[in-house]
Chain A
Amino acid sequence: MMSGGRSRVKMRPPRNRDSSDVNFEDSWSVLSTAMQEMYKKNASRLSYEELYRTAYTLVLKKHAEKLYYSFKSFVAQHLRDIVATELAPLASNTANSLAAEGVTSTQAVPLATADQREAGIRFLKAVKLQWDDHCLCMRMISDILMYMDRVYCKELQLPLIYDAGLALFRDHVIRNKDFQVGEHIYAIILNQIRRQRDGDIVDTSAIKATILMLESLTEDKVDGETVYSRSFEPKFLRSSTEFYTAEAAKLARDCLSGQYLIETEKRLKEEYERVMSYLSVTSEPKITKIVEETMITKNIIIVMHSEQSGLNQMILNDRMDDLQRLYRLSTRVDPDKTDLRNSLMTRVVAQGTEINNDALENLKRPEQRPKGVSAQNAATTAAFKWVEAVLELKEKYDRILNDTMDGDNQIQTSLTKAFSSFINQMNRCSEFLSLFIDDNLKKGLKGKTEDEAEAVLDRAITLFRYIDDKDIFETYYKSHLAKRLLGGRSVSDDVERLMITKLKMEVGFSFTTKLEGMFKDMKVSGDMVDEYKSYVQDKDPDRQTELSVSVLTSTNWPVSLSSVEHNTCVFPSEIERIKRSFDRFYIDRHSGRVLTWNPNMGNADIRATFRKRKHEINVSTYAMVILMLFNDVADGQSLSFEEIKSATSIPDNELTRNLQSLAVVPKTRILIKEPMSKDIRPTDRFSFNAGFESQYIRIKIPTVAYINKTETDSERKETVDKVDELRRYQTDAAIVRIMKARKSLEHNILISEVTTQLSGRFHPDAMMIKKRIDAMLEREYIERSSENRQLYTYLA
């Protein structure tokens, strides 16, 4: 800037233009003529500079406002003329009913005839043409009036020329009161869409262009709203809703479920493509939602429960595609898939209960079993069938889950819950499972490779996981295992151990320590016997009988084996001598231990001389004792049941069983029974059958008892009682443990803690816990606090 006034330069003020009083009218007529020319596409004849300068001058002379409004009214008038001259005639060509009805509702959009449709498209194209022209002109006018835009409009925050032009188009064309151009357009478009939905091909380019136009026309004072979103879209959505509601109802009525799902997917895809190709993208989520709601949400239950083709049929017939579709569509509307899950669960439980009932039926109906199979064996078969059926069901659902539902976690959880519920409903499940495993370990795995064997065991383990009362299972498994080990019936030691390892992985140590103890005992016994043999060799080289002993630690093995009642037996003198020798040997090795002999579990090989030849017979220990008696009996002489009983002191039921196997079973009649009846009475007499013949030199005479079978009712009750007792101890221990750690607890919290702790082994009953708490109170392990009756405190 200048300093002082010293310099010689003169500041000249800007020159005044022309005459200071520019005539507005003249200038305006220049401009308006120019605009006319532009509309007539004669713009190339215009001088931009002149027009720009004119406008510029007007603004400078403060005529901006007049200019602005003149411009607006000019354009408005022009547009109205256009509508009247160009568009209205076309509009009246299309069905009048279209226009009239299209005003209020789009429901009764009648399917226009071909001519009318053609006219409709023409109309749209005409509108588009006018729109394009208008936009172009607006741009040119905007350029001319740029100065005004910059200065006047910005200052007063009025819409710029271009925008004002668009708004004018909107107001005077689309919303033209006389001719309802806008409504017309909507009706036509909706009509086209409707036809396309019905399967016709329509000209989408015209529609697309029109939609673009609608989208460009923003509403005044409403952010983000366009004519499209305000006027057209709601109509579109409404008519779509109506269409799809009707469509859904129709399909649900007429189609099979599988078909319904396919149709739904088709429609979803179709709508998506439609929106993408010529409607506004913003509508996409809305229309998708509509289709989903009408076709999926409302009808999904109907579809699933349809008798002929619903969910159950799909599962039954392995219709994987349908299931997958069902899953996909359900997930769209409901990420939790509640309906689907519930239906699946219901179905699984239904099928499972069927399996349970079948098994129970099989148990009850003895006339169904094949000849020669005892009731107990039939029951065992029923057990196997149950296990197999459940595993099969599980595998089917696993397949469905993985193939069609992507292994979805929520569905997985629901299925697990359903399986768990019906499996535990079957209160003999633990027993059955243990039998299943038992059977496999005895015979079923013979000849299978390691992998196959492992696969079978894995299946058993999956079933095991579902069982709530795992301790019952443990009891059964222990007793079955014991019989296997002692009878030497297990197919392979390795497989047994493998099973134990798997169980350990599932439930942890405590479960399997006893089982492993049993294994160890067997091994130790084996070693012990070898030692004994060498010991005996030194002492007494010409022994006639050899002894092999399995020494079992009583705590590890099931209780039933070591009950004292079974132990009475009077051994023949040779046997007695050997027995004592072993006793001595063992006590030498392990002083402080007490040995109890269990004759009901052993077996013996006897060399017997018959008239024809010698045979070696393998019999149970009891049977051996019985047979040895006959050594002292002269040929032709017999012993009565009573006599045998008093001589051997064998308990009645064992005696009966063994005599049956020796004298009744046709192939192995070592003894002759009088009278020759199937059952054993105290008055029967037995004699040595010297005329016994058999092809084989070695014969094995099994006793009925060693096959693991389903328990009789009384046996089961025994087992359950035992388990209950064990549970009581465990509950007590848990209570004390928890109280000791927490010192004082509320009643409810204590119950929930105990339940959690015990849940790994079995599902405790609240009543039982309460009883045990009372017992603990009595035994003064805990006491009730005096202030709060609900609070317990630990007594050291």
Chain B
Amino acid sequence: MSQGDSSADSEYVLLVSSDGYEYSILRKAAMVSGTLQRMFEGAGLESQSKRVDLKDINGILLEKVCEYLYYNLKHQNNPGNIPEFDVPPEMALELLVASDFLDV
């Protein structure tokens, strides 16, 4: 295991919603999202500060997104029988847009 990996395992990154809610999640979980991945691995500010301001996504939505990221991470290795991910219908459309933005 290289240095990068072990730090990725234990490292946390910060996702900040438009209304100021901060969610700290495992870096590994964040990597599930293509956009977040690029942000943290790129050369920009975010990778240095390890935080991202998501100005288009509100707190509740962001929370659901984080939940999904963990859910995805947990079941990555076992594509067979996995429990359903619950999506409240009023959030569905917004979640859709967010996931499009985040490439998840």
Q: Which A residues form the contact surface with B (CB < 8 A)?
A: 2, 9-15, 17, 38, 43-53, 56, 140, 143, 146-147, 150
Cβ-closest 10 pairs across A and B: A48-B44, A43-B43, A143-B38, A48-B39, A46-B44, A14-B97, A47-B45, A48-B46, A14-B94, A14-B93
Q: Known contacts A17-B56, A53-B55, A147-B101: does B93 contact A48 (CB below 8 Å)?
A: no
Q: Which residues of B contact A50 (CB under 8 A)?
A: 55
Q: Are B103 and A10 in contact (CB under 8 A)?
A: no
| Chain B contacts for A14, CB-based, 8 A | 93-94, 96-97
Q: Is B26 an interface residue (CB 8 A)?
A: no
Between A and B, 11 residue pairs with Cβ closer than 8 Å are A14-B94, A14-B96, A44-B43, A45-B45, A47-B53, A48-B39, A48-B45, A49-B52, A50-B55, A53-B101, A147-B103
Asked whether A140 lies within 8 Å of B43 as measured between CB atoms, the reply is yes
Q: Does B72 contact A (CB under 8 A)?
A: no
User: What's the nearest-Cβ distance from chain A to residue B72, in Å?
Assistant: 19
In the assembled complex, B5 has its CB within 8 A of some CB on chain A: no
CB-based contact B94/A15 at 8 Å: yes
Give B30-70 interface residues, CB cut-off 8 Å to A.
34-35, 38-39, 42-48, 52-56
Contacting residues, chain B, for A43 (C-beta < 8 A): 42-44
Contact B93 A13 (CB under 8 A): yes
B79 located at the interface, meaning its Cβ lies under 8 Å from any Cβ of chain A in the complex: no
Known contacts A53-B55, A53-B56, A150-B103, A48 near B90 by CB under 8 Å: no
Given contacts A11-B92, A13-B93, A52-B39, contact A47 B103 (CB under 8 A): no
Cα distance A9–B45 in the bound complex, in angstroms: 40
A49 touching B48 in the complex, CB below 8 Å, given contacts A10-B90, A11-B92, A12-B90: no
In the complex, which of the residues A9, A44, A48, A146 contacts B103, with contact meaning CB atoms closer than 8 Å?
A146
Q: How many contacts between A and B, using CB within 8 angstroms? A: 71
Which residues of B are in contact with A by a Cβ distance under 8 Å? 34-35, 38-39, 42-48, 52-56, 88-90, 92-94, 96-97, 101, 103
A9, B89: Cβ atoms under 8 Å? yes
**How far is it, in angstroms, between the C-alpha of A10 and the C-alpha of B94 when the chains are bound?**
13
Using Cβ atoms and an 8 Å threshold, which residues of chain A touch B92?
Answer: 11
Q: Chain A contacts of B35 at CB under 8 A? A: 52, 146
Besides the known contacts A9-B89, A48-B52, A52-B35, 4 further A-B residue pairs in the complex with CB atoms under 8 A apart? A11-B93, A44-B48, A48-B44, A50-B55
* Min CB gap B19→A, angstroms: 12
The minimal Cβ–Cβ distance linking A782 to chain B, given in whole angstroms, is 85
Chain A nearest CB, measured from B87 CB (Å): 11
Interface SS of chain A:
helix
Query: Looking at the complex, which one of B38, B39, B90, B101 makes contact with A11 (CB distance below 8 Å)?
Result: B90
Contacts of A2 in B (CB 8 A): 89
Task: Assess the B46–A49 pair: CB atoms within 8 A.
Answer: yes
**Distance between A62 CB and nearest chain B CB, rounded to angstroms:** 15
Chain A residues lying within 8 Å of B88, measured Cβ to Cβ, are: 9
Q: How far is the CB of B84 from chain A (nearest CB, A)?
A: 14
**The one of A12, A48, A53, A147 that contacts B42, using a Cβ cutoff of 8 Å:** A48
Q: Which of B34, B42, B89 has the most CB of A within 10 A?
A: B42
The smallest C-beta distance from B35 to any residue of chain A, in angstroms, reads 6
Cα(A45)–Cα(B97), bound, Å: 28
Contact call B34/A46, Cβ cutoff below 8 A: no
Q: How many Å lie between the Cα of A44 and that of B48 in the bound state?
A: 8
Q: Is A56's CB under 8 angstroms from B101's CB?
A: yes
Q: How far is the CB of A236 from chain B (nearest CB, A)?
A: 37
- Residue in B45, B48, B93 whose CB lies within 8 Å of A12: B93
Interface centre among A43, A47, A49 (most CB of B within 10 A): A49
Decide: A49 near B93, CB < 8 A? Known: A43-B44, A44-B44. Answer: no
Q: How far is the CA of A12 from the CA of B92 in the complex (A)?
A: 9
Residue of B with least CB distance to A12: B90
In the docked arrangement, what's the CA distance between A150 and B102, Å? 12
Across the two chains, which residue of chain B brings its CB closest to A57? Answer: B56
The interface residues of chain B lying within 8 Å CB-to-CB of A17 are 56
B45 touches A11 (CB 8 A): no
Query: What is the chain A residue whose CB lies nearest that of B94?
Result: A14
Q: In the docked arrangement, what's the CA distance between A48 and B42, Å?
A: 8
The answer on a CB contact under 8 Å between B55 and A140 is: no
* Chain B neighbourhood of A49, CB < 8 A: 39, 46, 52-55
A628 to B101, CA, bound (A): 136
Q: Would A46 and B45 count as touching, CB distance under 8 A?
A: yes
A617 shortest CB reach to chain B, Å: 109
With contact pairs A11-B89, A11-B92 given, residues A140 and B42 touching in the complex (Cβ less than 8 Å): yes
Q: Which residues of A contact B44 (CB under 8 A)?
A: 43-48, 51, 140
Q: How far is the CA of A13 from the CA of B96 in the complex (A)?
A: 11
The residue in A43, A50, A52, A150 that gathers the most chain B C-beta atoms within 10 A of its C-beta is A52
Assembly CA distance A47 to B47 (angstroms): 9
CB distance from A14 to the nearest CB of B (A): 5
Specify which chain B residues have a CB less than 8 angstroms from the CB of A53 in the assembled complex: 55-56, 101
Which single residue of chain A is at the shortest CB-CB distance from B37?
A143
The chain A residue sitting closest to B40, CB to CB, is A48
Residues in A whose Cβ lies below 8 Å from that of B97:
14
Instruction: List residues of chain B with CB within 8 A of the CB of A10.
Output: 90
The residue in chain A whose Cβ has the minimal distance to the Cβ of B48 is A44
Contact B38 A9 (CB under 8 A): no
Residues of A close to B96: CB separation below 8 A: 14
Give the residues in chain B near A45, CB-CB below 8 Å. Answer: 44-45
Residues of B contacting A13 with CB < 8 Å?
93
Complex contact A143–B42 (CB within 8 A): yes
- Give A51 to B46 CA distance when docked, in angstroms: 12
Of the residues B46, B89, B90, B93, contact of A47 by C-beta under 8 Å:
B46
Residue from A45, A46, A48, A147 whose CB has the most chain B CB atoms within 10 Å: A48
Complexed CA–CA distance, A539 and B54 (Å): 140
Instruction: Give the CA-CA distance A146 to B34 in the complex, in Å.
Output: 9
**Which has the most chain A C-beta neighbours within 10 Å: B43, B47, B88?**
B43
CA–CA, A638 and B89, complex, Å: 153
Q: Which residue of B lies closest to A13 (CB)?
A: B93
CA distance A30 to B24 in the complex (A): 29
Tell me the bound Cα distance from A17 to B55 in angstroms: 10
B47 to chain A, nearest CB (A): 8
B98 to chain A: closest residue by CB: A14
A143 to B35, CA, bound (A): 8
Q: In whole Å, how far is B103's beta carbon from the nearest beta carbon of chain A?
A: 7
Alpha-carbon distance between A46 and B45 when the two chains are bound, in angstroms: 5
Which A residues are CB-close (under 8 A) to B55?
Answer: 49-50, 53
For residue A46, which residue of chain B has the nearest CB?
B44
Closest partner residue, chain B, to A143 (CB atom): B38
Query: When chains A and B are docked, how far (Å) is the Cα of A46 from the Cα of B46?
Result: 8
